[in-house]
């Protein structure tokens, strides 16, 4: 995405920007002279990332309506990019669905499905004004039946479908569900407690795939970072 009319630089809101993929995306956009607003539940970690990278931090839980309202207020009247990145893995170690605590599953859906939709609804006027882009962070667990991943995977599948329908209903926006692949993040480590996940690539390795979406703005749909990188 290039500078807007009058030299104004584009604005992005990234949830879960204190670590992992969200932090890596924030750093990449700031390096491109974007204005970035990031949120996160860990205020200290978010503030540290914001100071290091140079974005505006708004700490809080995206599942909280008051926090979403605060994000909308900071984002302003026009928003070029919303990245629904914040998510909850759920119970660790990952339990089979037959024993999944339903209260925990409700929380996974609250964070991974309802919160992104609620935030998108709130920001639609600003996104529409900018003919913006919405990205929902997906997972291969949304389409593959991995043992133990029924909670997280089904929530991501629901987010994929919401994202797909939003793309049809909002033709002036570009709406993408993006599977970044397995990455070396704290959440992924929680899915494999006690295991060595150092063979997974760092989150920054997936960032060029997202930048390609922003630069080329293909049709709304579901994309795999690996495919976007291979096609580059």
Beta strands in the chain (DSSP E): 11-14, 35-40, 56-59, 81-84, 133-137, 174-179, 221-224
Cα-to-chain-centroid distance, residue 222: 14
Kindly state the helix (H) or strand (E) to which residue 216 belongs, with its residue range: helix 207-216
Catalytic residues: 152
Tell me the C-alpha distance between 232 and 228, whole Å.
Answer: 6
Q: Using an 8 Å Cβ cutoff, are 144 and 183 in contact? A: no
Q: Using an 8 Å Cβ cutoff, are 224 and 181 in contact? A: yes
Owner of token pair 């409700």: 106
Reading the block at residue 226, the tokens are: 């690996």
């Amino acid at each position: 995405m290039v500078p807007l009319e009058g030299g104004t630089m584009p604005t992005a809101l990234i949830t879960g920007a204190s670590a992992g993929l969200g932090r890596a995306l924030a750093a990449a956009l700031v390096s491109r002279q974007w204005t970035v607003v990031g949120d996160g539940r860990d205020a200290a970690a978010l503030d540290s990332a914001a100071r290091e990278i140079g974005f505006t931090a708004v700490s809080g839980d995206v599942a909280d309506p008051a926090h979403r309202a605060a994000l909308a207020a900071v984002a302003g009247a026009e928003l070029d990019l919303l990245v629904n990145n914040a998510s909850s893995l759920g119970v660790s170690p990952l339990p089979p669905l037959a024993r999944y605590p339903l209260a925990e599953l409700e929380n996974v859906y609250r964070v991974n499905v309802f919160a992104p939709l609620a935030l998108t609804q709130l920001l639609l006027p600003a996104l529409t004004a900018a003919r913006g882009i919405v990205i929902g962070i997906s997972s291969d667990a949304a389409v593959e039946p991995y043992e133990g991943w029924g909670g997280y995977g089904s929530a991501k599948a629901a987010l994929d479908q919401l994202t797909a329908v939003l793309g049809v209903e909002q033709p002036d926006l570009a709406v993408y569900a993006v599977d970044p692949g397995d990455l070396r993040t704290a959440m992924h480590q929680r899915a494999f407690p006690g295991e060595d996940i150092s063979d997974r690539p760092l989150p920054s390795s997936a960032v060029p795939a997202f930048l390609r979406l922003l630069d080329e703005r293909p049709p709304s749909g579901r994309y795999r970072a690996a495919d976007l990188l291979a096609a580059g």
